[in-house]
Amino acid sequence: MELSKRQERIIEIVKEAGPITGENIAEKLSLTRATLRPDLAILTMAGFLDARPRVGYFFTGKTGSELLTEQIKKFKVQQFQHVPIVLKESVSVYDAISTMFLEDVGTLFVVDDHSCLTGVLSRKDLLRASIGQQDLNSVPVHIIMTRMPNITVCRKEDLLIDVAMKLINKQIDGIPVVRDTEAGLEVIGRITKTTITKVFVELITNDQV
Ligand code: ADP
From ligand 1's centre to the CA of 182, what distance in Å?
26
Which range (52-66, 171-185, 190-204) has the least confidence? Answer: 52-66
**Residue extent(s) of CATH 3.10.580.10 domains in the chain:** 77-203
Element (H, E) at 126: helix 123-130
132-169 pLDDT per residue, tens: 778 999 999 999 999 999 999 999 999 999 999 999 99
CATH of domain 77-203: 3.10.580.10
Which of 172, 191, 192 has most ligand 1 atoms within 8 Å of CB, for mutation? 172
Whether the predicted pLDDT of 102 surpasses 80: yes
Measured torsion, CA atoms of residues 48, 160, 162, 207, in degrees rounded to the nearest 10: -30
Residues 6+ apart with CB under 8 A from 16: none
**Residue extent(s) of CATH 1.10.10.10 domains in the chain:** 5-64
- With a 6 Å cutoff on the Cβ, whether 120 touches ligand 1 is yes
- Mean pLDDT of all residues belonging to the chain: 93
Q: Are 191 and 158 in contact (CB under 8 A)?
A: no
Which range (31-45, 49-63, 99-113) has the least confidence? Answer: 49-63
- Conformation bin of residue 104: beta by default, left when phi > 0, alpha when psi is -120 to 50: left
From ligand 1's centre to the CA of 28, what distance in Å?
59
197-207 pLDDT per residue, tens: 999 998 877 65
pLDDT band of 12, cuts 50, 70, 90: very high
- With a 6 Å cutoff on the Cβ, whether 122 touches ligand 1 is yes
With 0-12 CB in 10 A as exposed, 13-18 as middle and 19+ as buried, what is 188?
A: middle
What is the rounded distance in angstroms from the CA atom of residue 192 to the CA atom of residue 120? Answer: 13
- Res 207: pLDDT: 55
From ligand 1's centre to the CA of 6, what distance in Å?
49
What is the mean pLDDT of the segment spanning 90-119? 96
From ligand 1's centre to the CA of 13, what distance in Å?
53
Task: Please report the atom of ligand 1 found closest to the CA of residue 173.
Answer: 7
Longest CA pairwise span in the chain (Å): 81
Report which of 154, 78, 150, 165 is spatially closest to residue 120, judged by C-alpha positions: 150
Element (H, E) at 44: helix 33-45
pTM over 0.85: no
CATH C-level class of 5-64: mainly alpha
- With a 6 Å cutoff on the Cβ, whether 123 touches ligand 1 is yes
What is the mean pLDDT of the segment spanning 97-104? 97
